[in-house]
């Protein structure tokens, strides 16, 4: 029996659980850190749907409220054949339910995992992806986490873009004309996001589309390395190799998609004119229901949802913690513009003030130890660019509570300085 809240269960004659008397719940399709997705059937129409269930207790940070409202707002304004449709949002005191279009074929990732695709099949999926992405951009929506795991394929072989949890709207663009929140999945993230100087949401989506196209036909990632820092450096420099079977026209298009300079990177309009892309391309024709929603309707819809005190959630695939300060019990990674030497000096000063021992490592790193062995804490600094480093902190041993006390209450604020307030005020 699915994990559905008791007060909203109804048992029909077949002893099936129904949600709000509207959706007959079926098997579990997937599970993330804060959400579970079930197959369900609309009892009125018999239509299959997917229901994502988010437990509010597991995502209790009220500061993330804007994310959930933004995702709902985004999905309500998107009606495109190649984008997963949100039917409705339901909620109770402890759970949020996203009722969405059910895509029977599963993730595009699973198809690629079985082997690379031909250029013709890769082209068809890519054409549908660009149709959906161009539609989003025209409506001021930037996905920011495009990857094969977030692309579904229906029973007719049509691609569907899903998971808008990291998406941004054009009204989040700052006075410099750019977005500044650092997010995405490492292997698909654009170099300008790593540069931390702001970025154009449309251009980072196009970069991700380039990585996806490469993966479809090559069967492997263009930028990949077991060492995360080494992979970031490859992305930043645009270092990758084409497989021998790839055609010259496809290589030429991917080179323009994976242009490390966002100013000269190919645009959606230019992609539509590209010879390789145009082969067999038929623009998608459909009726855009979302255009019927005016700003007043959307504001009223979000206001009604606020009555449920909705709290944001994560699909479990968001790796923005690699870039932003996303605290966990045993470790954390964040970007810093401070020189490694200054970071080391800060750790040494704070540790000595707490009467802790500090041992420097051969590479850029330190080990901090408590006098009685109740704390063993490590920090490593990895050079990303000339201006940026990635700082990784981790409990190596000792007592977890001692680690939390030292890191969260003593060292964290010193290392990040003004960064915390900047992160809090971003977007």
Backbone angles phi, psi at 355, to 5 degrees: 60, 45
Give dist(CA 133, CA 375) in Å, integer.
49
* Nearest C-alpha neighbor of 183 from the set 209, 210, 165, 170: 165
Residue of 3, 145, 288, 329 with catalytic role: 145
Tell me if residue 3 is catalytic.
no
The DSSP H or E segment spanning 95 is strand 95-101
Give dist(CA 38, CA 26) in Å, integer.
6
* Nearest C-alpha neighbor of 160 from the set 148, 170, 152: 152
Is residue 375 classed exposed, middle or buried when 0-12, 13-18 and 19+ CB atoms within 10 A define those classes?
Answer: buried
Give dist(CA 125, CA 151) in Å, integer.
10
The DSSP H or E segment spanning 9 is strand 9-11
Do the beta carbons of residue 144 and residue 201 sit within 8 Å?
A: yes
Structure tokens at 308: 């449920």
CB atoms within 10 A of CB 282: 7
| Residues facing 366 on adjacent strands | 360, 379
Is residue 364 classed exposed, middle or buried when 0-12, 13-18 and 19+ CB atoms within 10 A define those classes?
Answer: middle
* Nearest C-alpha neighbor of 366 from the set 353, 374, 356: 356
8: left (phi over 0), alpha (psi -120 to 50) or beta: alpha
Catalytic residue numbers, as ranges: 145
């Amino acid at each position: 029996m699915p994990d559905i809240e008791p007060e909203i269960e109804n048992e029909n004659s077949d002893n099936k659980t129904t949600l709000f008397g509207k959706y007959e719940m079926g098997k579990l399709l997937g599970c993330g850190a804060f959400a579970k997705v079930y197959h369900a059937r609309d009892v009125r129409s018999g239509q299959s749907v997917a229901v994502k269930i988010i437990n509010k207790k597991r995502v209790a940070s009220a500061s993330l409220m804007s994310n959930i409202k933004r995702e709902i707002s985004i999905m309500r304004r998107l009606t495109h054949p190649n984008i997963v449709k949100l039917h409705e949002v339901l909620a109770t005191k402890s759970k949020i339910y996203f009722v969405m279009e059910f895509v029977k074929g599963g993730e595009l990732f699973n198809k690629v995992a079985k082997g690379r695709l031909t250029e013709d099949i890769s082209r068809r999926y890519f054409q549908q992806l660009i149709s959906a992405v161009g539609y989003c951009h025209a409506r001021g929506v930037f996905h920011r986490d495009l990857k094969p795991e977030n692309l579904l394929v229906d029973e007719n072989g049509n691609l569907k873009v899903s998971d808008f949890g990291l998406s941004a709207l054009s009204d989040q663009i700052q006075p410099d004309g750019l977005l500044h929140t650092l997010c995405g999945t490492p292997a698909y993230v654009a170099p300008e996001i790593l540069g931390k100087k702001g970025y154009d949401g449309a251009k980072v989506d196009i970069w991700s589309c380039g990585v996806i196209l490469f993966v479809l036909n090559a069967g492997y990632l263009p930028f990949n390395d077991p060492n995360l820092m080494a992979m970031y450096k490859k992305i930043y420099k645009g270092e990758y190799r084409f497989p021998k079977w790839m055609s010259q026209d496809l290589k030429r298009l991917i080179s323009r998609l994976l242009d490390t300079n966002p100013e000269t990177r190919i645009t959606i309009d230019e992609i539509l004119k590209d010879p390789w892309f145009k082969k067999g391309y038929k623009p998608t024709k459909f009726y855009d229901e979302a255009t019927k929603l005016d700003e007043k309707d959307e504001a009223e819809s979000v206001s009604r949802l606020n009555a449920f005190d909705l709290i944001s959630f994560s699909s479990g695939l968001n790796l923005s913690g690699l870039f932003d300060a996303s605290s966990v019990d045993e470790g954390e990674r964040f970007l810093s513009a401070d020189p490694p030497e200054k970071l080391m000096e800060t750790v040494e000063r704070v540790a000595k003030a707490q009467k802790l021992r500090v041992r420097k490592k051969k590479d850029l790193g330190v080990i901090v130890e408590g006098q009685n062995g109740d704390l063993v804490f490590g920090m490593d600094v990895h050079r990303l660019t000339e201006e940026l480093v990635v700082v990784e902190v981790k409990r190596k041993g000792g007592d977890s509570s001692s680690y939390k006390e030292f890191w969260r209450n003593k060292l964290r604020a010193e290392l990040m300085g003004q960064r915390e307030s900047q992160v809090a005020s971003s977007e």
